[in-house]
Amino acid sequence: MSTTAPRGDPFKPAARVAGQRQDVWTIVNEAAAASPVQPIVNMGQGFFGYNPPKFALDAAKAALDRVDCNQYSPTKGRPRLKQAIADAHEASFGRKLDPETEVTITTGANEGMLSAFMGFIEPGDEVIIFEPFFDQYISNIEMPGGKIRYVPLHPPKDGAVRTSSAAEWQIDFEELEKTINSKTKMIVLNSPHNPVGKVFSRAELERIGELAIKYNLIILSDEVYDRLYYVPFTRVATLSPELYERTLTVGSAGKAFYATGWRVGFLIGPPHLIKYVAAAHTRICYSSVSPLQEAAAVAFEQADKVGFWDASRAEMKAKIERFCAVFDELGLPYSDPEGGYFVLVNMAAVKMPEDYKFPPHVANRPRDFKLCWFLIHEVGVAAIPPTEFYTDANTHIAEDYLRFAVCKNDDVLETAKERLRGLKKYIRN
Ligand SMILES: Cc1ncc(COP(=O)(O)O)c(C=O)c1O
């Protein structure tokens, strides 16, 4: 007979997945299902409402007919894709990239970033991220035991009364430098930014770069929206050879080619960093989906030749303008994006009835969660409450905003606009 004491509940989940409060996607979906307006127009999550370009779709279909494309790919990615990515990034990096040592393929940018944190973060190491943040950073940093330090981006003080540029969300550099200590190992940047739509200026990146060099930090630069910029876009890795040596740049074929479900991402950086991202990726999922890597390779080879990047940028900019016209009409100020496809709209002027009934899990969240619920129920349009991308201490910064994703067909944008006009009776400017 064993003398070992019983272990307790074997089904108790690990802390890293247990005890999370109801996430924003569940709340939005639940609100959508319960709304009297059906079907709702979903402008919440950043998935595309239309298909990838034909050259990418044709490549995906053709890949499925090839024996080698249905089997494991090399763990670091298919050679053709790594070459295509190296070639497609040569101009914006201002140098030739070695596809064997400076590019590695991952299962979406998300798993790529998890691999970067798994590859470099030991328990107790600190990672700095800006608020608002892409929510996956949090668990990706915490899984290897990293501790997160948050630095907020500050919106313009008069953001409730004036439409402003996303550029006006500013870093307080003193605050940033004070956050760095001897345990800080990495800083995460995101440009173009989700959800703010900010493209970090060259001057801002230079200052961040100086700090990274001064304190010997790795920079993880999440540039998944790098093809969607409406002002000049700079990659931090290109500012100097010293910065290239300490920067991992993250990309996503899913974002680039409207194929977020393909889960093809990649990291570009110096061999001494890429090597360990690839090592972690091999442990996490061995290799990434073969036929869609092949399709992404063809897509990167074709995109420039057929003018896809310019067309894609012009098309998204037009969607932003088309959609935001309704907020100009309603007198609701927004943060005009410099890149990406998210728009933050300031809804301070929307007065919800005082006795409005919210379910308890919404009632105890910041005002943007209530606005989100209210919009879904009253006009049938779903948006995302951005305080989900803040720590509790800083939710006051964004609780009057809602995030709309405009990567939808124009008729969907028009339906959303028509419905949003229904907010007029609640607006007191
Ligand atoms: C800032 C940011 N980084 C990364 C990702 C994830 O990209 P992928 O779909 O390639 O994993 C997203 C997706 O929404 C994002 O907004």
Q: Are residues 45 and 59 in the same domain?
A: no
Q: Are residues 215 and 144 in the same domain?
A: yes
Residues with beta carbon inside 6 Å of ligand 1? 46, 108-110, 134, 190, 194, 222, 224, 252, 254-255, 260, 265
CATH of the domain at 178: 3.40.640.10
Q: How confident is the model at residue 403 (pLDDT cuts 50, 70, 90)?
A: very high
Q: What's the average model confidence in pLDDT over 182-201? A: 98
Q: How confident is the model at residue 262 (pLDDT cuts 50, 70, 90)?
A: very high
Q: Are residues 41 and 59 in the same domain?
A: no
Residue with CA nearest ligand 1 atom 2: 134
Q: Kindly give the distance from the C-alpha atom of residue 421 to the centroid of ligand 1, in angstroms, as a whole number.
A: 31
Q: What range defines the domain where residue 391 resides?
A: 24-51+309-426
Domains: count for the chain: 2
Would residue 5 count as lying in a domain? Answer: no
Q: Are residues 119 and 46 in the same domain?
A: no
Whose tokens are 């091999």? That residue is 282
Q: What's the average model confidence in pLDDT over 146-174? A: 96
pLDDT at 350 over 90: yes
DSSP 305: T
SS3 170: strand
Alpha helices for 160-239 (secondary structure H): 173-179, 202-214
Would residue 89 count as lying in a domain? Answer: yes
Q: Are residues 229 and 86 in the same domain?
A: yes
Would residue 6 count as lying in a domain? Answer: no
Would residue 8 count as lying in a domain? Answer: no
CB atoms within 10 A of CB 371: 21
What pLDDT sits at residue 7? 78
Q: Kindly give the distance from the C-alpha atom of residue 161 to the centroid of ligand 1, in angstroms, as a whole number.
A: 31
Alpha helices for 216-270 (secondary structure H): 241-245, 253-256
Token pair, residue 403, equals 């995030």
Q: Are residues 126 and 40 in the same domain?
A: no
Q: Are residues 174 and 242 in the same domain?
A: yes
Whose tokens are 């009835």? That residue is 353
What pLDDT sits at residue 25? 83
CATH of the domain at 395: 3.90.1150.10
Token pair, residue 112, equals 């790529």
Q: How confident is the model at residue 261 (pLDDT cuts 50, 70, 90)?
A: very high
Would residue 18 count as lying in a domain? Answer: no
Domain boundary, last residue among 264, 285, 303: 303
Q: Is-contact 309 53, C-beta < 8 A?
A: no
User: What pTM did the predictor assign?
Assistant: 0.96
Ligand 1 atom nearest the C-alpha of 264 is 10
Would residue 294 count as lying in a domain? Answer: yes
Q: Kindly give the distance from the C-alpha atom of residue 109 to the centroid of ligand 1, in angstroms, as a whole number.
A: 6
Q: Are residues 46 and 72 in the same domain?
A: no
Q: Are residues 276 and 322 in the same domain?
A: no
Ligand 1 atom nearest the C-alpha of 112 is 11
Q: Kindly give the distance from the C-alpha atom of residue 224 to the centroid of ligand 1, in angstroms, as a whole number.
A: 6
Q: Are residues 252 and 343 in the same domain?
A: no
Q: Are residues 236 and 314 in the same domain?
A: no
Would residue 272 count as lying in a domain? Answer: yes
pLDDT at 94 over 90: yes
Domain boundary, last residue among 256, 285, 303: 303
What pLDDT sits at residue 5? 73
Ligand 1 atom nearest the C-alpha of 265 is 10
Domain boundary, last residue among 303, 337, 363: 303
Q: Kindly give the distance from the C-alpha atom of residue 353 to the centroid of ligand 1, in angstroms, as a whole number.
A: 36
Closest CA to 383 of 45, 149, 13, 6: 45
Would residue 202 count as lying in a domain? Answer: yes
Q: Are residues 134 and 283 in the same domain?
A: yes
4, 107, 132, 188, 233 from 92: Cα distances, Å: 61, 23, 27, 20, 9
Residue with CA nearest ligand 1 atom 16: 194
What pLDDT sits at residue 141? 97
